[in-house]
Structure 1
Amino acid sequence: MKANDELKTITPTNIKKTGDTHLIMATLIATVTFAAGFTMPGGYDGNRGPNQGMAILTRETAFKAFTVTNTIAMMLSTSAIVIYFFWAPNKDRDKLLKHYNSAANLVVVATVAMVLAFITGTYAVLEHSRALAIAVCVTSCLFFGIFNNLIKERLNIAIERSFV
């Protein structure tokens, strides 16, 4: 079966079923990153004074990186959720594919940002125990090797289909 024939067999119902799975993932990412934004790594300063209630690690570079990557993950996953809800009633297969693919790509990038937020947040909290912080960060970076292999495989499939 040629690639174009395979694409024609994809129905709005199939697209929406796949979208439901993506929507669950996007919702989980949004939930986790939302919670992480309020339960700041390192906690809050409880001492009386001008910094009371402020995040303890505010001045740390790793904490700033955590905040930025966590925010990116939150915004991208929330954007994907909005796309799924906005386009769910649509019956046009081509429009659904276009927008659901966009949302799926947002979820993928949000996942990467969430992993980066985990790495930078963990490093910020464990910075005083540098060996442990580095060990956790290096171990967490294994995700990017797995992610790289999956992306290569997906690109190879897409390239093969374009020549069929």
Structure 2
Amino acid sequence: MKNYIVFLLILFLLGVGFTPMAQPTLKPSPKLLEAMNKTYFLVGKWKGTGWIQFGPQKHNFIQTENVSLKANNTVVQIEGRGVAADDTNTVIHQAYATVSYDLYNNKYLMRAIRGDGGHVDADFTILADGAIEWKFKNPQAGEIKYTIRLVDNKWVEKGEISRDGQNWIHFFEMSLAKVK
């Protein structure tokens, strides 16, 4: 009898979670949606070209970015893949990232994961002009920052690196057009 009562109690508790009364908790707060809305211009499928330079020679690449919304529009999911411009069978970059907003600390959260499994938790900021800046520290290289701007309906991203936080070296740039 005791097991039967416990079983009924568990069924009741599980059932309560699926009642219409539980549904309002799935609605994100207006403040959260307002913050995330500033990133929505990235949503879509993008393709274009770019270059990266570590050392004396620039390397050109072809890049695609697939950006979608998840978890009731509270998370931006970014999947990027780059191939060498002179050999499209050679993957030179593959990454996955998520961006969300922390209501309690009033800041964006970004985790970017490379194709080799390494990851960074980046500082993610919306600049006054609406551009996105994401940056992180690398023990070997210093501070690395990327700035994404929508320029003539193109995703233009610039990468810079600094050892002292004052002098920046431009090492990366890509320009992508929305294809979908």
User: Is the shorter-chain TM-score for this pair beyond 0.5, marking a shared fold?
Assistant: no
TM-score between the two structures when normalised by the length of structure 1:
0.28
Higher strand share: 2
TM-score between the two structures when normalised by the length of structure 2:
0.26
Q: Which has the higher contact order (CA 8 A, sep 6+)?
A: 1
| Structure (1 or 2) with the larger CA radius of gyration | 2
